[in-house]
Structure 1
């Protein structure tokens, strides 16, 4: 229809206005046809029916009474479904499970090499701050809650460091190590990490948790090494101790670790990807150029002398 309308205009058989109207009408017909195919009455739900999908179970309600910072693993449908099934647990809780086709490869490695061995992956569950596990009740089959008292929280200070050459060696170490006392890092980072002296009275705690910023407070009499139960991602996350940037070390294969100097300090992780910063500056520069060109064109049009 569009081709015929344009051809008719070229041949001066119809006016351009009629061609635009014809194209517009048939475009609307085409769009309405798609809409009625994919957005008909079968694609809508009543509000009450929709909300029923997000009704918390008794297990969810029990967990939600805890207002601290923790994570949940739902294995009520089996360990495979925990990472390849629905995402309802993530609607109510900070979950270590759920499915997404674009996972970070290091976390997918952890799922396949460690978490799929559940329940024989307690060290990993502890370092991921998995405080609650939803399991099926053996009698009723309904979801019930098991609390993991060894979950390590948002951050902790370790007594010693181990260094391994390869990712496989680090992954193997996760099967039997004690994450509350030991951190496992890459051998290549050893020279960049100074000596630590564990202080039993030292402390570190989460102060604020947001999507793009995490804040902690630390206090120790000697230099420490802190492990943070957040996924390592060096394409954007930066760490600061008292607003001074410090390197982040890939720790326990998937987590973050930094050196913490003696004394009282404020520690922050901020998501500041260079791509976003560069893109923002480019967008602002492009907008400024466009406005300047428009302004110049306007001024030029005003000043242009009228023909006699």
Structure 2
């Protein structure tokens, strides 16, 4: 209704101008005011008064614990942290962890549906098993059964934060079993639908087998076998939230899984040539990687943003043209009057 009112009001101003009952300057001022009102009401939904607070007050909302300090000493480009403090209710609803780290729990209580399903089916059960394993081992990770948290490992969960120790501070524990940013697999298991895909994670080792929905078979060129050996390498060399760069080296063509969430709009190239990204293990990305040494780049550039930008620029151009026409017509009238 707001937009409808603004459009009607704008048309009414143009009508008054056409009938010579409103000057060009007042018409332009009225249109500018309507645009300002429209943009102001929409922008206030996302940038409201509560977000404009002093930096000191903003920092108070996110308390850095000693555990956070220790983890932040790790200068690796990309890894995730899982906070067990307040588990299970708090892990996926708090955002303090996400302020300091890349958090398995996310930065918002609302999750992607597919990721929420992974939380319910695998992550929460694995967290329970991990907590019991680490407690029973007295924090000695060498004695822990890593098969109990394979999904957490494939999510590149390099650090766990456990509830307070004797000093009253949360305790950080490094996970030595984490799979890393990306890895080659030996096998690809195709399944028929999402139910089979998420269930298959109960009995596969993600570093050996990638579980892929059959609809992505073409993107992987029908590969059913991967290739990896001790000399196959894939490593992250540059990280930004919307752009990733990897270097690969392998003696044969292979299939690589990336510990990044699959989402439409991500694009990829291999040595500058377009490459397909498929989905593996229900939420991760997977690609067919040729033999040799290569540079893989991924970036987020969804079509919806480009369309929206095009519409916005087109609307701005029309507005400017309209203003120029009005100014030209007004000047022409003034010249005629002077003659």
TM-score of the two chains, using structure 2 as the length reference: 0.72
Distance in 1 (CA, whole Å) between partners of 2:57 and 2:257 is 44
The reply on whether 1:73 has 2:104 as its aligned counterpart is no
Specify the alignment match of 1:224 in structure 2.
254
Residues 297 and 88 (structure 1), Cα distance of their counterparts in 2 relative to 1, 3 Å cut: same
State the shift of 1:106 in Å: 0.5
Residues 119 and 146 (structure 1), Cα distance of their counterparts in 2 relative to 1, 3 Å cut: farther
Contact 2:183 2:234 in 1 (8 A): yes
State the shift of 1:141 in Å: 5.8
Specify the alignment match of 2:178 in structure 1.
151
Distance in 2 (CA, whole Å) between partners of 1:46 and 1:92 is 19
State the shift of 1:278 in Å: 1.0
Residues 296 and 50 (structure 1), Cα distance of their counterparts in 2 relative to 1, 3 Å cut: closer
Residues paired across the two proteins, number: 267
Moved more, 105-114 or 165-174: 165-174
- Quick one: which of 70, 75, 84 aligns to 1:62? 70
Contact 2:164 2:170 in 1 (8 A): yes
Specify the alignment match of 1:302 in structure 2.
331
The reply on whether 1:261 has 2:290 as its aligned counterpart is yes
Distance in 1 (CA, whole Å) between partners of 2:338 and 2:73 is 80
- Quick one: which of 202, 215, 223 aligns to 1:188? 215
SS for the counterpart of 1:178 is: coil
Specify the alignment match of 1:243 in structure 2.
272
Specify the alignment match of 1:88 in structure 2.
96
Specify the alignment match of 2:305 in structure 1.
276
Contact 2:65 2:169 in 1 (8 A): no
Contact 1:123 1:175 in 2 (8 A): no
SS for the counterpart of 1:80 is: coil
Specify the alignment match of 1:24 in structure 2.
none
- Describe the superposition over 1:159-195 as per-residue Cα deviations: whole angstroms up to 9, x where unpaired: 1111111212221221232111111101232344234
Contact 1:237 1:273 in 2 (8 A): yes
SS for the counterpart of 1:162 is: strand
State the shift of 1:46 in Å: 9.1
- Describe the superposition over 1:109-157 as per-residue Cα deviations: whole angstroms up to 9, x where unpaired: 0111111112435111011000111112565664112211111111111
Distance in 2 (CA, whole Å) between partners of 1:243 and 1:109 is 35
TM-score of the two chains, using structure 1 as the length reference: 0.78
Moved more, 284-293 or 298-307: 298-307
Distance in 2 (CA, whole Å) between partners of 1:289 and 1:306 is 29
Residues 245 and 79 (structure 1), Cα distance of their counterparts in 2 relative to 1, 3 Å cut: same
Distance in 2 (CA, whole Å) between partners of 1:291 and 1:167 is 50
Tell which structure's C-alpha radius of gyration is larger: 1
Contact 2:247 2:295 in 1 (8 A): yes
SS for the counterpart of 1:306 is: helix
Specify the alignment match of 1:207 in structure 2.
237
Question: Within 5 A, what are the aligned runs for 1:74-153?
Answer: 74-84=83-93, 86-98=94-106, 100-117=108-125, 118-120=127-129, 122-137=149-164, 142-153=169-180
- Describe the superposition over 1:63-100 as per-residue Cα deviations: whole angstroms up to 9, x where unpaired: 1111112110000222332113x211111111101462
Unaligned runs of 5+ in 2: 1-48, 130-147
